[in-house]
A and B are shown apart, each in its own frame.
Chain A
Amino acid sequence: MHNNLVVILLAAGALYAQDVQTPPAPTGSISGVVQFEGTGKPVEGGFVVIDPGNKNTKTDAQGKYAQHDLAPGTYRIRVDSMNAASVSKAVSLLAGQDLTVDFHLPAPGSITGRIVDENKEPVPDIRVSLVAREYQFGELHYVYTGVTTSNDKGEYRLAPVAPGRGYLVVAEKRAPLHAISDAPADPRLRKRVPVPTYYDGADSPEGGQVLVLRSGEQREGVDIRMLRSPSYCLEGVLEGANGPRQMYFAIGERQPAFGMSGAGGTAGMPPGGRTGTDGKIRICDLHPGDYELTAFALDGNESVSVFGSTSVSITDGDVGKVALIPAPHLTVPGEVVWDGKAPDKPVQAKLGLWLMPVARPFFKHEPDGLFPKTAIPGQFSLPNLLMDSYNLRLLGVPDDLYVKDITYSGQSILHKPLNVGSAIGKATLRIVVATDGGVVAGKVTDKDGNPIPDASVTVMPANAESEAILAAALVSEPADQNGAWSTKRLAPGKYYIVASTAPFDMTPESIGRLWQMHTKAQEVELGPGATVQMTLVPMPED
């Protein structure tokens, strides 16, 4: 499933490759070697993606990559490897130049430990997961990024673990779920159930200890003593338009969830099953917590015909009479409109939309229609939406424009997921683009004015009211090999700008540090259509 996700990501990018005009010769090339930091071992099978153009190659057994026939210009090169965090660099390529760009990726590490019960006895067959914490679309997400199972001695090993970023480790018992459980009616006669337990002994991700590995570190002794709680049941009925019917269901805690993060991800559905024709559920062995109950039915084509979900909180007793009526597909109309007056010259480029379910993989045939392209201005339609949450990305925004706002049913979702069910009545997705954006550009140098290559520049809107919003709204630009950098068009307004030797990721630690840097950052009041030049000196690594 993970591979499917990657394929979809690349395919979505490839849709827009054709938008890049092929300029005349002479072209240049970019090549280099990707190695692990420290050991110098080659990174084999790493993806090297060069933008614009979404040209991608794989590194060979020696870690080498090469991309030819590149027009002169500024490129961003990103290296993705299953074994390490993504690293990107910006470069300026001159006509006919053969540029060498090498990468040193932090070497992956591993986490090992034992799962034990209250009697300190080893617990086998426990699902142990690596959980990344990351801001995405204005929310803090806990995303499964690696998984293993404890063996008969309770031992587990999570590898590879990307160094330099914070992870949680959680131990969970995953047993098959039955639509109708035969658990005793009286909760006092039920066994106590294992609770997802976060290292070092917490029952929630918020209480978990954040582990950060050094490059190549083999962390040992990450032992988890499984907690247990009383066991509760959830009873209800799943209904179609004509009353109760047979349906698939899945139930999982809201966090952590499946999905993607900057450190990789996993795709899947929480545990579930299929009801009888009466649509009845009696799901047991649940510990207290906040759950998302999902139900759906498939048609003869294995496509989802109805889909719905609801939140269920279990505190200290059984939950009864849950009714869930999944809804059929929804067509959401959309439009791209100008903010104020349209520019004199019509825009040729097309804007691409890219929607992806927040916490589950695509169903079969579901991606059909989720990647529409639209003229600017223009109208489009999303014909295949389920009553679910989607992350929306816009691709191919022309350089002289910026996206000022995105609204759904009149509410801004610029830095938020699209909750299809949140609309009242007939809702429209509106994308507002504007031409009055400004640009900030300059150089990154040391104290003496010498350019620093491969630094990172982070531009923070001053009006971000929380760390989560800051994470969604900030713009990160790599400086090239000569220290030069430039933003795309930004909305007029006040910004804080910092340079750093390494880019900031979306983990709460990184964003928290940025949040604290407001006061030390350079401040810019960007006027409509303005270009502001500035020289930045990287912040010291505290």
Chain B
Amino acid sequence: MLSLVALTVVLAAALDGRVVEDHSGNPVVSVEVRVLRNGAPGVVAELETDGDGHFGAQDLPAGDYRLELSKSNYMRVTVEAHADSVLQIRMLRYGVISGQVTDEQGQPVRDADVLAFTKPAGSGPLQATDFAVRTDEQGEYRLHHLPPGEYVAAASWGASTRAVGASGRAMTDAKLGSGFLFYPGNTRPQFFTVTSGDEHRADFMLQPAASVSLSGKVEAPASGDAGRFWIALTPVDQPALAVAVTQAAADGSFHFESVPSGSYQLFASGPINMRIGKGGLLGDEPLYGLARVDVAGENVEGLSVAVDKGGSVTFLLRRGSLCPSTASVRLVPLEDHGAAKDWSAELTAGTPRTVNRIAPGRYQLELKTPGNACYLTSDPVVAVAGSSTVEILTAPAGSIQGHLTADAAAVTLYGGEDVRMALPDADHKFAFTGLRPGHYRLVTGPQNKIEVDVHAGAPTVVELANAQ
């Protein structure tokens, strides 16, 4: 392993730095700088940048330090530094997608939800993010905490999972019905590439509700539970959002008004114990039903949805060399079921673990290992139907080892949850370790950027020429 910094013996040292905005080069003022000394408990000092973006601390004990920089609207930056460093730090501003939701007459639609989705590398399905916001009285919305990346935006209205989860009913005007709209259209959503300080605009115009209705009955085994089933109507070709969610009546019957034509998966889940913002929360012994429904301009009646205990997945952890023998795995639905439950398991290498009563559908696997030392290398998407076995393969975290061909103050790494910085040593070498596999960007100055793919297990070696 390369050492990040050259060790120098100093009795009293200082840290000095200046923080600028990545895309503009303007100083960033009032940045909170937490100074931690490696091997010492607690925070040594809490500093703040001045009007010119400068910060500094004198009379520090010699040693290696970690600096954590934070300011609202900017991504956090972590810097490894040694005493007597002079740091040039670039902060990345979150991006914004904003706009207005209106009806066909141009009247603002309040209480619609606007959500951001990301697309994983490769050809995987859209993944929900935590970025969601409700429109105000003027129909305006503002998604403003977007880390750099690629996003699509969707408006969801009426009896959506979020509305029914939050309030138990449709939020927007009844004459709009229910539905969702990806910007600018559902057939071909537009990807916004959000970089530092970007602001994108996406206005949504909602179409009036269709006139077709759909009704049926959940055949719950225990009659008392029938009224505690939630039913979500989710398009087959865009399962990331349900068109509408409804709660079954006490006899299990359910009814959807104003359903647009299309092919749907109808998810029934219950008994629901309580509402949360993301839908209905399932209890310990959930039951699920799944039906395929085609709606083509005529009312659909008399659907009968049988329910059962869903599927099960047996996980087998096969750890990579140098990886911990334990890991925790969580199944994150890729389809909007209108209902939520925590499907997760603690895994030990060599010991099969089964997660039961999983709603049928497709899931993204989220794997965590102790200390974030290793990451998932096997297929992260699983389909649950019946019982199946899934092997979990892990490999050590990725790393970047680099060499600068000229002097540079620092190398900044973008792409993880935080922005990280490393200082080159006397041989112009630098390294970032413990990286989640994925796409990163290395920057040494406004003109010096390089895109890097980091894989689990093996280091990625880069050479950076410096224009300065």
Contact = CB atoms under 8 A, between A and B. Distances in A.
A249 B30 CA distance: 30
A174 interface: no
A156 to B, nearest CB: 11
A121 B29 contact: yes
Contacts of A192: 48
B41 interface: yes
Contact of B41 (A159, A182, A191): A182
A189 B96 CA distance: 35
A123 interface: yes
B72 A184 contact: no
A190 B47 CA distance: 7
Given A184-B44, A191-B47, A152 B144 contact: yes
Interface in B144-179: 144-145
Given A119-B30, A121-B29, A152-B94, A189 B145 contact: no
B257 interface: no
B32 interface: yes
Contact of A184 (B42, B73, B96, B142): B42
B16 interface: no
A520 B43 CA distance: 64
B29 A124 contact: no
A182 B48 CA distance: 17
B136 interface: yes
Nearest to B199: A152
Q: Which of B73, B94, B145 neighbours the largest number of chain A CB atoms within 10 Å of its CB?
A: B73
A189 B47 CA distance: 7
B454 to A, nearest CB: 30
A152 B145 contact: yes
Interface string A143-163: 000000001100001010000
B45 interface: yes
B72 A119 contact: no
Interface string A181-202: 0111100011110000000000
B46 interface: yes
A111 to B, nearest CB: 13
B30 A121 contact: yes
A339 interface: no
Contact of B46 (A117, A157, A190): A190
B285 interface: no
B137 A183 contact: no
A125 interface: yes
A11 to B, nearest CB: 19
B43 A183 contact: yes
B371 interface: no
B144 A191 contact: no
Contact of A123 (B32, B46, B72, B142): B72
A15 to B, nearest CB: 25
A152 B73 contact: yes
A119 B32 contact: no
Interface string B14-45: 00000000000000011010000000011111
A536 B73 CA distance: 61
B319 to A, nearest CB: 31
Interface in B240-264: none
Nearest to A155: B142
Contacts of A117: 30
A151 B137 CA distance: 16
B73 A124 contact: yes
Contact of B96 (A152, A157, A159): A152
Given A117-B30, A123-B72, A157-B136, 13 more contacts: A119-B29, A121-B29, A151-B144, A152-B72, A152-B96, A152-B144, A182-B41, A182-B42, A184-B44, A184-B45, A184-B46, A185-B42, A231-B46
Interface of B: 29-30, 32, 41-48, 51, 72-73, 94, 96, 136-137, 142, 144-145
Interface of A: 117-119, 121, 123-125, 151-152, 157, 159, 182-185, 189-192, 231
The 5 closest A-B CB pairs, nearest first, are A191-B46, A152-B144, A189-B45, A124-B72, A182-B42
26 contacts: A118-B30, A119-B30, A119-B51, A121-B29, A124-B72, A124-B73, A124-B144, A125-B72, A152-B73, A152-B94, A152-B96, A152-B142, A182-B41, A182-B42, A182-B43, A183-B42, A183-B43, A184-B44, A184-B45, A184-B46, A185-B42, A189-B44, A189-B46, A190-B46, A191-B32, A231-B46
